Amino acid sequence: MPPETAALATVVALALLFAYTNGFHDAANSIATAITTRALAPRVAVVMAAVMNLVGAFLGEGVARTIGANIITPLPGGHGLVVLSAALVGAIVWNMFTWYRGIPASASQALVGGMVGAALASASSVDWSGVVRDFVVPMALSPLAGGLLGYLLMLAILWTFRRASPSRVGRKFRIAQSVSAAAMALGNGLQDAQKTMGVVVLALVTTGYQSGYEVPHWVVLAAAVAMSLGTATGGWRIMRTLGRRVIHLDPARGFAAEATVSVVTYATSFIWQVPISSTHTITAAIIGVGATRRLSAVRWGVAGDIVSIWLLTVPGSAAVAAAVYLLYQAFPLTQAVLGP
């Protein structure tokens, strides 16, 4: 097998491994609240999330094109594949680190951080205007939108059902949560599987296998299956943090948080076609709906730990990816790919 072909296969394999780690990270996002409030049994919730992730991956390509075209421009040929390989390793390492610690972190941030870190280490081009416009701004605004909309939706629910029996309301919202959790899992697949697709397409463009940023059907299928398999393995450490440690959720608040994230996810995927972090958005929405009870109901120490990881994700994954790229230089296979 020619070295460049082997390098392309490596990038595709790493991209699918990233999608797998993204899946078990984000399984927590879409089903933690439904499991915590007992709207869904754990096994049922995991299967539902895996299926909806799979379906969601086939519903759009806009975010994939944004990731592929607007973040970095690797050097052509084999050198670009080495850059993308290092970027993916950086993102995967960060995903595994935060999963081990049981802290919800953004796989999207880890991926873009890895791409930027590897690009800077290799003297590849970084599209800073695209990074700010299509990554920094959506990543900053989506949690704010999630927290605010979650708070307002929960206030509307409290006012609407102010005279209803709490036990009856709880039963109804457990049923409603089955729908909102499925909608959120669908949005998860729509957003996050596309990020893997974008990297694979960028690798194909870099090596000249295709000229545009359209996503081939086999890439969609592979990314969807990899992410769904990851979701099917769970992500129980992160679920405990989101579902129990930030705030105690009841079915109404779980529904409000999931519905909020679904709205934000669909809007950013279909209208603006930019990547967001479902992890950030659901965490902010949980804090927002919890604040309607009282501010002290939110465990701000846990929330602070989560925010600290958010702030460290991009520089952390970038540093790992840059280090991996520099280590690659000593590998004989890498030298064969890079050429003289």
296 vs 33: which has the higher pLDDT? 33
What mean pLDDT comes out for the span 248-273? Answer: 93
Domain ranges for the chain, please list them: 3-323
**How does residue 240 score in pLDDT terms, banded at 50, 70 and 90?**
low
Query: What's the chain's average pLDDT?
Result: 89
pLDDT at position 19: 96
What does the pLDDT read at residue 68?
Answer: 96
Report strand pairing: 72-73 vs 125-126: antiparallel
Tens-place pLDDT, residues 302-315: 778 888 988 999 99
pLDDT tens readout for residues 170-191: 999 999 999 999 999 999 999 9
Q: What is the structure's pLDDT at 78?
A: 83
Quote the pLDDT of residue 339. 57
Inter-residue contact 78 to 339 (CB < 8 Å): yes
What's the CA gap between 73 and 77, in Å, rounded? 11
Q: Looking at 147-151, 246-250, 286-290, which range is the least confident one?
A: 246-250
Structure tokens, 283 = 């965490």
User: If we measure between CA atoms, which residue out of 314, 311, 310 comes closest to residue 322?
Assistant: 314
Which residues have CB under 8 Å from 5's CB, separation 6+? none
Task: DSSP for 97-161, please give it.
Answer: HHHHHT----HHHHHHHHHHHHHHHHT-EE-HHHHIIIIIHHHHHHHHHHHHHHHHHHHHHHHHT
For residue 302, give the amino acid letter. V
H-helix or E-strand spanning residue 72: strand 72-73
Residue 241 has pLDDT above 60, yes or no: no
**Percentages (nearest 5) of helix, strand, coil residues in the chain:** 80, 0, 20
CB-neighbour burial class of residue 217 (10 A; exposed 0-12, middle 13-18, buried 19+): exposed
pLDDT of residue 247: 67
Which residue, chain included where needed, has tokens 């080495």?
Answer: 82
Place of tokens 């105690």: 248
